[in-house]
Amino acid sequence: KPPPPPSSRASGSPRRVVVQASTGELLRCLGDFVCRRCYRLKHLSPTDPVLWLRSVDRSLLLQGWQDQGFITPANVVFLYMLCRDVISAEVGSDHELQAVLLTCLYLSYSYMGNEISYPLKPFLVEGDKGRFWERCLGIIQRLSAKMLRINADPHYFTQLFQDLKSEGEGGDGSKHWTISLDR
């Protein structure tokens, strides 16, 4: 069906897509994505990555580094954008996955968070800080354009949001989310 002629739309009001989901829903979708991507990790549950993320957020709250939780829908979408390009299907262990995921989380905090800096300890699961910083620099080199684009381009953010939500679709094709069109 062709789009309606411009004269039939209210003048000056472009069509907007409104997407809604709770933080919990988006975290479940992210957990599903991570489990599908890391299919070799047979004992990995979709709740494992979510617990790792929430543990860091809780730790930073308890230590006074933030006044409110960082993990919000917009920040989960940003984290998903990083994870999608960084987490490899070749991940060999839960520990390796956790190190990569928490590196992505650290960069999410660094880019989207309210503080100038965050302590490294809650994000580290390995003894070698050098490997952590190498991963950080590699991610920044590969994804800095996307990290800038997600905040500058609302259509890009919306597409990522929809992609993340589709990660949580049931195996029968049913969707657990709603998109409302505001015309």
The model's pTM:
0.82
Residue with tokens 């984290």: 79
In sequence order, what DSSP letters do the residues of 52-111 get, joined into one string?
HHHHHHHHHHHTTS-SS-S--HHHHHHHHHHHHHH--TT---HHHHHHHHHHHHHHHHHH
CB–CB of 170/138 below 8 Å?
no
CB–CB of 114/57 below 8 Å?
no
Residue-wise pLDDT for 48-104, tens only, equals: 999 999 999 999 999 999 989 999 999 999 999 999 999 999 999 999 999 999 999
| Length in residues, the chain | 183
